[in-house]
Chains A and B, each alone.
Chain A
Amino acid sequence: MSRNQKFAWFNLAVIALSLISVFSLVPSLGWQRAQGGLGIAGLMGLGVLFYRKRPGEVVMDERDNLIFKRSYIWGHGLFWLAYVAVSVGLAPAVYGWEGAVPVSVVQTSVFWAMFLVQASMSIAILAQYAGDSKKVE
């Protein structure tokens, strides 16, 4: 398994853990306070450790870099689509044209945006490596 794949699986696992913790806290703490569970997402910062250099080992080659770049474009492209859809369509529909978006919604939207970017990037990474390790020697 390449470093990119490990990175992608790790991010997906952290996202899943964050979502599970948020939704399991909702019944006892309520929606707003349960979003404290999003703090688990901070573990994603450890993902860089997968790219540590070891002597004599190829960490990332040109194909890995290309796959990462493509995934980055996918993730951020999808984010912009979602951002436009939410800002232009969903926000006025929920809060009204003269309404005000609560501060807590703005704060937590950062986490949801990060989840969207990281999850779509990770899925794009895994999709591009799909079927690689089937052909041995």
Chain B
Amino acid sequence: METLSNRIRRLRFDNGEMTQQALAEKVSVTRQTIIALEAGKYVPSLTLAFRLATAFGVRIEDVFQYESGPAKKK
């Protein structure tokens, strides 16, 4: 089981309580996409992931955390 979590909500608040709309405008997506990302309902493309990291001025690993479960038996 693979999971991709993110700290977007935390990072927004750490960046002067940035609103979802302000972040959406910064990374050129809709506010609904930010909501879906924060809820873990949408996995972004690599380019959007980099845009988000750049918007917060952090590395991509500081925004997204990947966890992989035990590998499937062949």
Contacts and interface: CB of A to CB of B under 8 A. Distances in A.
Interface of B: 19-20, 24-25, 28-30, 32-33, 35-36, 38-39, 42, 44-45, 48
A62 B45 contact: yes
A2 B30 contact: yes
Contacts of A104: none
Contacts, number: 37
Given A58-B30, A133-B35, 9 more contacts: A2-B32, A58-B28, A62-B33, A63-B36, A63-B42, A129-B32, A135-B35, A135-B38, A135-B39
Interface of A: 2, 58, 61-64, 129, 132-133, 135-137
Contacts of B39: 135
A58 B22 CA distance: 12
28 contacts: A2-B30, A2-B32, A58-B24, A58-B25, A58-B28, A58-B29, A58-B30, A61-B29, A61-B30, A61-B33, A62-B29, A62-B33, A62-B45, A63-B29, A63-B30, A63-B32, A63-B33, A63-B36, A63-B42, A63-B44, A64-B30, A64-B33, A129-B32, A132-B35, A132-B36, A133-B32, A133-B35, A137-B20
